[in-house]
Amino acid sequence: MSTDAMASTAITTDKTTPVGHLINGKVIIEGSRSQDVFNPATGEASKQVDLASRRTVEEAITAAQAAYPAWRNTPPIKRARVMFRFKELLEKNADRICEMIGEEHGKINHDAQGELQRGIENVEYACAAPELLKGEHSKNVGPNIDSWSEFQPLGVVAGITPFNFPAMVPLWMYPMALVCGNCFILKPSERDPSSTLFIAQLLQEAGLPDGVMNVVNGDKEAVDTLLDDDRIQAVSFVGSTPIAEYIYTTANANGKRCQALGGAKNHAILMPDADMDNAVNQLLGAAFGSSGERCMALSVAVAVGDATADALVSKMQSAMANLKVGAHTDNSNDFGPVITRQHQNKVVGYINSAEEQGAEIIVDGRNPQVSGYENGFFVGGTLIDKVTPEMQSYQEEIFGPVLQIIRVETMQEAMDLINDHEYGNGTCIFTRDGEAARYFSDNIKVGMVGINVPLPVPVAFHSFGGWKRSLFGDLHAYGPDAVRFYTKRKTVTQRWPSAGIREGALFSMPT
């Protein structure tokens, strides 16, 4: 099948032709089960996605297993060259990819461009495969004995990715897995599958051999097949904490290596000495960007002192008056709809519960009016003051454009609040005090920390991951940890005895 034909299959808007699966270099449509894919701005089903059965997922695994020996033995420099070409194709097709993201996720174009760029940065890091896989070497560790370690691929590995970053999160996983010599099965979200499939086709166009990268769209049946099949050596996951725990527990029970990134409740501490105008500007984007559907969204502002809280409420209320929510096609909008009608109702339910439990709704986004898109899944920016830790809206991840304010008396009280929460993904402090910032970064029990940086998402050559119930597994995503996750170390110790010399048997531990 030609590249043009594959691309047209991936991005069709004809409901009778579902978005399919990429298996062994070809787009496959099984046809036994499918579900609607919605445009969240209009509330209408724009297409369907084919849902893979166990048999289809097993076909993908078989294709990957068959491709593995040749790909494993492909020199790292040649694998890296595929990634260089892939990066160029991603940049060339950026507008098309972002349009697909907007149509199915609702993300405003400028936000989709940022998501794609962060994904491309992980491809750039993967281009360093020859350096990353060099291993270590020691000469003469004993008389005429040399020792070295090398990093060998695992085999066939899988990734299960969420709806909120259909381009970026898959690119956290498979570029590094592939340059390390593995073959990959991707199970993306069935809610916004087109951009993910199209990007995988660009990888084929970049020269990746058939079968090395496969995409299966599906639901729990597809996920459980990946977890149960003993040919899958490792699983990477990003999603909610309950599902992350299920993925991790099941994968481990089946003898697989697993990293499962879960949910978050990210706090920002505002100290009395904070630059309040800067903090407000930063909080606007961190809380409401991408409709708050980010695992690194700042959803709780912890104000130290009532004076700090009052100033924050006043300035946020004023700034939020200018927020624009709407369709992805208007780049002047700040953020778009949430992903489904069910999720819209869930977010509104959390706002209702906060109000019922005694919190004060300062800016109410429960009924935004978006002209021309009255049936879209919109929630406006919402600001809630006087939230307490006992409230449901505080305890659980809202995953919507809602910022809650908690008032405390001291920095230590604020830190205790963060450290006591079950999630530990990201956090931030706004302060001018270097001593306070250093104490905060040293003692906060959170995996990713910002100092006057509200979205401390690590760059591609570091690694991404939280603490506590935000991450199940020992290794974080992408960066240096990804090399370790997608390879296994082998250490070789070698000696070539001199001709004619024979040694007697040795029974003690060699030294």
Same domain (yes/no): 158, 286: no
Residues 6+ apart with CB under 8 A from 153: 68, 72, 180, 181, 182, 486, 487, 488
Q: Please provide the average confidence, as pLDDT, over all residues in the chain.
A: 94
Q: H or E stretch including 68?
A: helix 54-72
Distance of CA 494 to the CA centre of its chain: 42
Which of the four pLDDT bands, split at 50, 70 and 90, describes residue 2? Answer: very low
Which of the four pLDDT bands, split at 50, 70 and 90, describes residue 511? Answer: confident
Long-range Cβ contact pairs of 10-18 (< 8 A, separation 24 or more): 10/194, 10/197, 10/198, 10/201, 11/96, 11/100, 11/194, 11/198, 12/47, 13/46, 13/47, 14/47, 15/45, 15/46, 15/47, 15/48, 17/47, 18/47, 18/48, 18/49, 18/50
**Which pLDDT value is given to residue 221?**
97
Q: Is 507 part of any domain?
A: no
Contact 423, 393 (CB under 8 A): no
pLDDT, tens digit, 9 for 90 and up, residues 415-441: 999 999 999 999 999 999 999 999 999
Which of the four pLDDT bands, split at 50, 70 and 90, describes residue 400? Answer: very high
For residue 214, what are its two tokens? 């496969």
Same domain (yes/no): 366, 317: yes
pLDDT, tens digit, 9 for 90 and up, residues 202-237: 999 999 999 999 999 999 999 999 999 999 999 999
Percent of the chain whose pLDDT exceeds 70: 96
Same domain (yes/no): 406, 483: no
CATH number, domain containing residue 179: 3.40.605.10
Same domain (yes/no): 15, 105: yes
* Domain count for the chain: 2
Q: Is 400 part of any domain?
A: yes
More confident residue, 287 or 502: 287
Percent of the chain whose pLDDT exceeds 90: 92
pLDDT, tens digit, 9 for 90 and up, residues 234-292: 999 999 999 999 999 999 999 999 999 999 999 999 999 999 999 999 999 999 999 99
For residue 42, what are its two tokens? 């209009």
- Residue 295 falls in the annotated catalytic set: yes
Q: Is 336 part of any domain?
A: yes
Task: Give mean pLDDT, residues 183-212.
Answer: 97
Q: Is 132 part of any domain?
A: yes
pLDDT, tens digit, 9 for 90 and up, residues 457-496: 999 999 999 999 999 999 999 999 999 999 999 999 999 8
Same domain (yes/no): 442, 303: yes
| Segments forming the whole domain that contains residue 202 | 3-262+470-491
First-to-last CA distance in the chain? 60
**Which pLDDT value is given to residue 143?**
86
Residues 6+ apart with CB under 8 A from 119: 90, 165, 167, 168, 169, 170, 171, 172
CATH number, domain containing residue 284: 3.40.309.10
Q: H or E stretch including 35?
A: strand 34-39
Same domain (yes/no): 14, 141: yes
pLDDT reading at 106 higher than 50: yes
pLDDT reading at 503 higher than 80: no
pLDDT, tens digit, 9 for 90 and up, residues 18-65: 999 999 999 999 999 999 999 999 999 999 999 999 999 999 999 999
b/e map of 83-116 (b: 16 or more CB within 10 Å)?
A: beebbebbeebbeebbbbbbbbbbbbbebbbbbb
pLDDT, tens digit, 9 for 90 and up, residues 69-81: 999 999 999 999 9
Same domain (yes/no): 250, 283: no
| Positions of E strands within 247-309 | 257-261, 266-270, 298-304
pLDDT reading at 7 higher than 60: no
Which of the four pLDDT bands, split at 50, 70 and 90, describes residue 500? Answer: low
Which of the four pLDDT bands, split at 50, 70 and 90, describes residue 5? Answer: very low
Same domain (yes/no): 208, 299: no
**Which pLDDT value is given to residue 264?**
95
Q: Is 510 part of any domain?
A: no
Task: Give mean pLDDT, residues 436-463.
Answer: 96
Q: Is 183 part of any domain?
A: yes
CA–CA gap between residue 478 and residue 174 (Å, rounded): 9
Distance of CA 50 to the CA centre of its chain: 23
Same domain (yes/no): 245, 334: no
Q: Is 499 part of any domain?
A: no
pLDDT, tens digit, 9 for 90 and up, residues 326-367: 999 999 999 999 999 999 999 999 999 999 999 999 999 999
The residue out of 402, 424, 451 marking a domain boundary is 451
Same domain (yes/no): 291, 253: no
- Is the sign of the CA dihedral 480, 483, 486, 487 positive or negative? negative
CA–CA gap between residue 302 and residue 441 (Å, rounded): 16
Indicate which residue of 98, 180, 183, 295 is catalytic: 295
**Which pLDDT value is given to residue 508?**
83
Which of the four pLDDT bands, split at 50, 70 and 90, describes residue 11? Answer: very low
Beta-strand relationship, 423-424 and 487-495: unpaired
The count of other CB atoms within 10 Å of the CB of residue 243 is 18
Same domain (yes/no): 295, 379: yes
DSSP SS3 for 454: coil
Q: Is 249 part of any domain?
A: yes
Residue 178, φ and ψ in degrees, nearest 5: -70, -45
Instruction: Kindly report the pTM of this predicted structure.
Output: 0.93
Which of the four pLDDT bands, split at 50, 70 and 90, describes residue 397? Answer: very high
Same domain (yes/no): 314, 403: yes
